Amino acid sequence: MAAAATQPRVMVLPFPAQGHVIPLMELSGKLTEHGIEVDFVNTEFNRDRILESMAEEGGIPDGIRMLSIPDGLGPGDDHADIGKFVRDLPSAMSGRLEEMIRSNKIKWVIVDGSMSWALEVASKAGARVALFSTYSAAVFALRVNLPKLIEDGVLDENGNVSRKARIQMMPPIDASEIPWVSLASTSAPERRRNNIQNVLKTNLSMPLAEMIICNTSVEMEPDALALLANALPLGPLVAPSSGPAGNFLPEDLTCLTWLDAQAPGSVVYVAFGSSGFLDATQFQELGDGLALSGRPFLWVVRPKFTTGVDVGQDWFDEFKRCVGGKGMVVAWAPQQRVLAHPSIACFVSHSGWNSTMEGVLHGVPFLCWPYFADQFCNQSYICNVWGTGVKLCRDEQGVVTKEEIESKVARLLEDGEIKARATMWKHKTSASIAEGGSSYQNLLKLVNLLREQ
């Protein structure tokens, strides 16, 4: 009897944070649709919580095998501590990773750009490697050009912004908004220094990557992509047709029924991704601002989203009682389905890259509320380049006040030009991922390369 033909198999290695696991699961889903099998390697902690939440949501797509490696933390440690991961994951995971690549005879590894230490491990184990950027191409280009920015005196090797510079690449940002500078507060110079040093160090292994897979499109970031050799833009990535991909928390689907009952183009959707959080004052101000806006709203309040307020069932019940049927609060939304819903009017967002791409793909105007990392750069794209949103401004105390929220929601929803541009970008990005579009063609290019086993 002839042996069954084996499908090509690749390994995918995400950084263990929600905003990294989701797009890499989406990419994996796309690869399986084209006949490539995927070993998706998580930390043990994340593998378990993804399996648990996805069991309720249709399970892992066919063709994806969920593997795991311990993160090296103890039972009492915080398994979501990004600082610890950046420092400790290479030593905790390298040995086991190399062994897995060798024993499973993996020919290609797709490494998350925030795990670039693994490029060397995979190459050493004999695999070919591609890097995946969970950030915009602009942020990736900034990363590659960090030594030049230091040489030009825009910032120093400790991450101190040396002069008040505006970086005139696409999109324009202030030097203080460079992701590895804005990641750590000014009161944490050591953290800032570590960030910069880490980027400089991990950049050295970048030439090992045969290509940089980007969750973006040529239409959205032509200038930034032109700065990157070997970039393969194939976004915006979307959840596989079989269901959501890689959630750490189960989605609360009741909000979809609630959205069905709202008028078209009426609902303010508010979500700050997987890691942003607000202090008690800001949390209260946001709640008041939404109530003042007089519009229906859907608000994602994750566990630990705010400090100082105990967001348990009692809080949810009390909040519901106060706002009546006007607002709905969930702990985790089916975000892509929410943004695609006709009742959504705008998206109050921290401007994480995935949320940005998802909002653009569905033609939803933004109110940008960035906090750190690449979020300021993404805000600049939305407000200064694509023209699909406005930014929320902070007062002297650094608070986005309820009055600011009320007035910007009103202004955004009255602005027909912003809505028209958002709709134009929806059409452009949808065309890009549809058969024959630029991102679709790049996906096929990737599939063909990965078949070279």
Please give the residue ranges that form the binding site for ligand UDP (CB under 6 A). Answer: 18-19, 22, 271, 273-275, 300, 332-333, 335-336, 352-355, 358
CB of 338 to ligand UDP, least distance (A): 8
CB of 431 to ligand UDP, least distance (A): 21
- Measured from the CB atom, is 106 or 360 closer to ligand UDP? 360
CB of 204 to ligand UDP, least distance (A): 25
- Measured from the CB atom, is 125 or 333 closer to ligand UDP? 333
- Measured from the CB atom, is 12 or 129 closer to ligand UDP? 12
- Measured from the CB atom, is 98 or 251 closer to ligand UDP? 251
CB of 96 to ligand UDP, least distance (A): 26
- Measured from the CB atom, is 332 or 366 closer to ligand UDP? 332
CB of 135 to ligand UDP, least distance (A): 9
- Measured from the CB atom, is 228 or 245 closer to ligand UDP? 245
CB of 355 to ligand UDP, least distance (A): 3
CB of 241 to ligand UDP, least distance (A): 16
CB of 146 to ligand UDP, least distance (A): 21
State which residue has the least CB distance to ligand UDP: 19
**CA–CA distance, 320 with 27 (Å, rounded to integer):** 37
Of residues 403, 425, 185, the one with CA closest to residue 288:
403
- Measured from the CB atom, is 22 or 232 closer to ligand UDP? 22
- Measured from the CB atom, is 183 or 271 closer to ligand UDP? 271
- Measured from the CB atom, is 9 or 30 closer to ligand UDP? 30
- Measured from the CB atom, is 23 or 121 closer to ligand UDP? 23
Burial 361-393 (b: 16+ CB within 10 A, else e): bbbbbbbbbbbbbbbbbbbbbbbeebbbbbbbe
What string of H, E and C letters represents the secondary structure of the chain? CCCCCCCCEEEEECCCCHHHHHHHHHHHHHHHHCCCEEEEEEEHHHHHHHHHHHHCCCCCCCCEEEEEECCCCCCCCCCCCHHHHHHHHHHHHHHHHHHHHHHCCCCEEEEEHHHCHHHHHHHHCCCEEEEEECCCHHHHHHHHCHHHHHHCCCECCCCCECCCCEECCCCCEEHHHCHHHHCCCCCCHHHHHHHHHHHHHHHCCHHHCCCEEECCCCCCCHHHHHCCCCEEECCCCCCCCCCCCCCCCCCCCHHHHHHHCCCCCCEEEEECCCCCCECHHHHHHHHHHHHHHCCCEEEECCCCCECCCCCCHHHHHHHHHHHHHHEEEECCCCHHHHHCCCCEEEEEECCCHHHHHHHHHCCCCEEECCCCCCHHHHHHHHHHHHCCEEECCCCCCCCCCHHHHHHHHHHHHHCHHHHHHHHHHHHHHHHHHCCCCHHHHHHHHHHHHHHCC
CB of 279 to ligand UDP, least distance (A): 17
CB of 2 to ligand UDP, least distance (A): 43
